[in-house]
Structure 1
Amino acid sequence: MKEMLLVRYGEIGLKGKNIRSFEKKLVSNIRKAVASFPDAVVLDKHGRVVVEYEPHNQDAIIEAVTNVFGVVSVSPAVRMDRDIENLKVECLKLMQRLMEEQDIKTFKVETRRADKSYPLKTPEINQIVGAHLYKNLQPIKVDVNNPDIMLTMEIRNVAYVFSKKIPALGGMPYGSAGKGMLLLSGGIDSPVAGYLMAKRGLELEAVHFHSYPFTSERAMEKVIDLAAKLTKYTGNIKIHSVNILEIQKSINEHCPSEESTILARSFMMKIAEKLALKYNCKGLVTGENLGQVASQTIEGMNATNSMIEMPVFRPLIAYDKVEIINLAKKLDTFETSILPFEDCCTVFLPDRVVTKPRLEKIQASMDLLQVDELIEAAITSRDTIIISKGEVLKRS
């Protein structure tokens, strides 16, 4: 017997002729996730992904693999020769070990015969192995409806035997859906939005807008901390830190104050699009939520959308705040997000914000500004931070 982890995927299996490319991406991501374990080996063959490891690393390996997008569940398993006499002997040894570790009074044997050329049918395998266990493990009983333990044998070119299934994140392999630019603020919503799009296979790069020195360095560190938490699922993230203070000053000087929020947002979208094109991103990702704040109306989103050509993904658009907070707590980003450090949206905040902006008025206000020059200056002076597996790898 050899111990290992069986890895299962879900949606990938529906990809038809493209399935192999998704499988390869998933296997590559699993290899990255367990790279810190020198003895871990990821095998991809015979329609099954398997991770071999040293037994003392089992818990850490399980945590790493279940946090890989695309994995729906895993099972600690043993690999055995599939000869029926060997299965009887080795399954008995496995059950005896499991009974030492936990209180087991009832069991059931289940077989999945992936290799249909195996000489015995599924009911025969169940009966032969089950009878052998029942005979040698008295007073344990058989319970086909609600057993304490389900011993499952998966028959391929070898036999994989396991007794539990551990749920994972699901979704699609990270990076399998292309690349997007996340507008990452220090708030609750945008990290959750990034997570949800990453779960759908979108590789993330990020842009953060600040108004230093009106906003503090601690506010920037807060954003870095949020991105670091996302790298638990993405591996690494590059953040472009863009100062928009001069843009905000220009808006404040030349444009109606009630439009300042939507105009600043329009500049953010334009800058994010330029960076996205530069770094091969195919869309933008925001944490916008319909009706949550004054600028997040249909009219407001239509105004900012009109400023760019790139698609904008808003995965939180129909979530209520409680749902978003619950997700943030699950991701361990909530407590960081609510730290009381100001962001650029609080700078020059008007007493009244237009909630239903008219496109022609917003465009007329934009025409009062040196848009291209302001954008180019902001992008040129940006800082870049690369975060890998929770740690800042590079700042420039």
Structure 2
Amino acid sequence: MEVSTRYPHVIIIRLAPEMMLKAPATRKKFQKALRSNMQEGLERAGIEFDIIGHEGRMQVHTSDQEKALDVISRTFGVASYSPIDKIIDGGLEAHKEAAVELYKELVTDKTYAVRIKRLGNKKKFTSVEMERHIGGCLRPFAKKVDLDNPEVMIKADVAGDLAYFYTQKIAGPGGFPIGIQGNAITLISGGFDSVVAAWYLMKRGAMNDFVFCNLAGGAYERMVVEITKVLCDRWATGTRPKLYCIDFEPVINDLRANTAPEWWQVILKRQMYRAGCEIAKRIGADALVTGEALGQVSSQTLSNLNTIDEVSDIPVLRPLIGFDKEQIIKDARMIGTDKLSEKIPEYCALNKRRPAVKSGRNTIAKQETKMDFSVLTDMVEGCKIYDMFDVTDEDIAQHSVFIEEIPEKAIIIDCQPESLYDDWHVAGAKNYTAGKLMNSLRELKKTQPYVLYCPFGTQSAVLAERMQKAGYEAYSYKGGIKQLKRMFPNGAELDEE
């Protein structure tokens, strides 16, 4: 007899083995956290559901199986899960009839096997006995039984007279429920490494807030907000992560002016650590998390990491310290942020010629004596804070590619052919054809806005959008040259004044 439930779909959830090995009181605490996180994720997905504890597992009864499976697949603490094909009551004979009804077409002309998991203490038959009985009922329809590598695997969890039939056992993310291991601050740049590092801390049960040290202006910030939003929406169920955005341009200017170039990379990282530690102090975070992998860049040698660690007054955690780049990118693909992270340019390389691969704490401390640390303090105090679950699509969308006013200090780029540029252009505008502009992007700074124009505003819009995707704050002047001539009636004549 089929068991009717309030909702049409049931999903069995198996808890991560590490949770089951804990002492009873600890296990109960972890299970409560998992249930709470899953409930919040399902509610955020906007579906109807019940969560039921059953024989050391959980069941989600829901009206929308697809959405529920998506939430469960990204909830830490879940070892595996199975969408149930049917729940049958009535003992072995009823189970045999149900198996034939459910799976006779599925096993036709295929090899198959049956696996039974007995739950609870009421066991009229052993698992092997049930497998033989149910498997035997399906034998007339199939090619043959194959216990080692079947084309179809039929499974059932049996508790008393109840059997939960399914064919899929899907691996979950494992780990611990987020929130049971305290709070950490992740220094996030938007690249592959820091995002993956944050994910690994979440998997071990730590809540994550984020500190972003912005080295390249508004477009870069929007890209990092978007990446952090995707990470949190997908994986931070049960928490309320925040992103602290700190303008680091004045900090960079200070260290460039007052320290030797060979030490810039190390000093920049020390300033980032100081910023992260200050935010951690505000919110009571227990550790600083980075995406550093040993030897990946000059600041990540053992010598330089030792020098950088000096400024942190909380533990520094590096989940990726032994990873290679290929593994990190593979993990980013699984997490769902790889396509966004690959658009993030390298901003931290202040000195690309001869960055130091070895340093001493005393040497760097001496270099820093000329710096003005009130600059960093002021930038941290004035940081912008995003609550990631309150961030909207409008917040993370790139600015409209079109603009009707030219921002102060904007660089104006004329996208006309050179002959038309000579006939008329806005005073001070630099002439770049489309090809020349794309080939010259690396020569352009990312710390100030750009306004592009062309005869009709169409080609400049395409180029501005490409620049935005590359991390520049770029716009196309709406209305093109016709509108600009009203704004600048003297045009190129102003160049001569």
- Aligned positions of 1:1-396 closer than 5 A: 1=2, 2=4, 3-10=9-16, 11-17=18-24, 18-35=26-43, 36-54=45-63, 57-77=64-84, 78-96=86-104, 99=105, 105-134=110-139, 138=141, 141-157=144-160, 158-211=162-215, 215-231=216-232, 232-235=234-237, 237-339=241-343, 341=345, 343=347, 345-346=348-349, 349=351, 351-371=353-373, 373-388=374-389, 391=392
Q: Cα RMSD between the aligned structures?
A: 2.5
Letter matched to residue 224 of structure 1: V
TM-score by length of 2: 0.71
Letter matched to residue 117 of structure 2: R
- 2:108–2:142 CA contact under 8 A, matched in 1: no
Specify the SS of the correspondent of 2:333. Answer: helix
Specify the SS of the correspondent of 1:339. Answer: coil
TM-score by length of 1: 0.87
Specify the SS of the correspondent of 2:179. Answer: coil
Structure 2 CA distance for partners of 1:293 and 1:20, relative to 1, 3 Å: same
Q: What is the CA–CA distance in structure 1 between the aligned matches of 2:114 and 2:345, rounded to whole Å?
A: 57
Q: What is the CA–CA distance in structure 2 between the aligned matches of 1:303 and 1:193, rounded to whole Å?
A: 21
- 1:80–1:160 CA contact under 8 A, matched in 2: yes
- 1:183–1:207 CA contact under 8 A, matched in 2: yes
Q: What is the CA–CA distance in structure 2 between the aligned matches of 1:166 and 1:85, rounded to whole Å?
A: 28
Q: What is the CA–CA distance in structure 2 between the aligned matches of 1:341 and 1:320, rounded to whole Å?
A: 19
Question: Post-superposition shift, 1:205?
Answer: 0.4
Structure with bigger gyration radius: 2
Q: What is the CA–CA distance in structure 2 between the aligned matches of 1:87 and 1:140, rounded to whole Å?
A: 22
Corresponding residue for 2:435?
A: none
Q: What is the CA–CA distance in structure 2 between the aligned matches of 1:139 and 1:205, rounded to whole Å?
A: 54
Specify the SS of the correspondent of 1:205. Answer: strand
- 2:190–2:228 CA contact under 8 A, matched in 1: no
Question: Post-superposition shift, 1:31?
Answer: 1.7
Q: What is the CA–CA distance in structure 2 between the aligned matches of 1:153 and 1:390, rounded to whole Å?
A: 43
- 1:386–1:392 CA contact under 8 A, matched in 2: no
**Stretch deviating more after TM superposition (62-71 or 386-395):** 386-395
Structure 2 CA distance for partners of 1:111 and 1:349, relative to 1, 3 Å: same
Letter matched to residue 223 of structure 1: V
Q: What is the CA–CA distance in structure 2 between the aligned matches of 1:103 and 1:131, rounded to whole Å?
A: 14
Deviations 1:59-94 (A, max 9, x none): 332222112122222111132225223323333322
Specify the SS of the correspondent of 2:298. Answer: coil
Count of residues in Structure 1 that have an aligned counterpart in Structure 2: 382
Letter matched to residue 229 of structure 2: A
Question: Post-superposition shift, 1:390?
Answer: 7.9
Q: What is the CA–CA distance in structure 1 between the aligned matches of 2:109 and 2:200, rounded to whole Å?
A: 39
Deviations 1:347-375 (A, max 9, x none): x547432221111111222333343x233
Deviations 1:149-173 (A, max 9, x none): 2322222253322222122222222
Q: What is the CA–CA distance in structure 1 between the aligned matches of 2:320 and 2:128, rounded to whole Å?
A: 48
Q: What is the CA–CA distance in structure 1 between the aligned matches of 2:188 and 2:295, rounded to whole Å?
A: 19
Q: What is the CA–CA distance in structure 1 between the aligned matches of 2:371 and 2:395, rounded to whole Å?
A: 35
Specify the SS of the correspondent of 1:34. Answer: helix
Q: What is the CA–CA distance in structure 2 between the aligned matches of 1:220 and 1:167, rounded to whole Å?
A: 35
- 2:111–2:142 CA contact under 8 A, matched in 1: no
Specify the SS of the correspondent of 2:356. Answer: coil
Question: Post-superposition shift, 1:226?
Answer: 1.3
Specify the SS of the correspondent of 1:172. Answer: coil
Structure 2 CA distance for partners of 1:187 and 1:117, relative to 1, 3 Å: closer
Question: Post-superposition shift, 1:300?
Answer: 1.0
Letter matched to residue 53 of structure 2: D
Letter matched to residue 44 of structure 1: G
- Per chain length, whose mean CA-contact separation is higher, i.e. which structure has more relative contact order (CA < 8 Å, sep 6+)? 1
Letter matched to residue 21 of structure 1: K
Structure 2 CA distance for partners of 1:202 and 1:104, relative to 1, 3 Å: farther
Unaligned runs of 5+ in 1: none
Q: Among the aligned pairs, what percent are the same residue? A: 25
Question: Post-superposition shift, 1:283?
Answer: 0.4
Specify the SS of the correspondent of 1:26. Answer: helix
Q: What is the CA–CA distance in structure 2 between the aligned matches of 1:44 and 1:351, rounded to whole Å?
A: 60
Structure 2 CA distance for partners of 1:25 and 1:103, relative to 1, 3 Å: farther
Question: Post-superposition shift, 1:221?
Answer: 1.2
- 1:386–1:394 CA contact under 8 A, matched in 2: no
Structure 2 CA distance for partners of 1:82 and 1:13, relative to 1, 3 Å: farther
Q: What is the CA–CA distance in structure 1 between the aligned matches of 2:312 and 2:78, rounded to whole Å?
A: 35
- 1:261–1:353 CA contact under 8 A, matched in 2: yes
Structure 2 CA distance for partners of 1:87 and 1:265, relative to 1, 3 Å: same
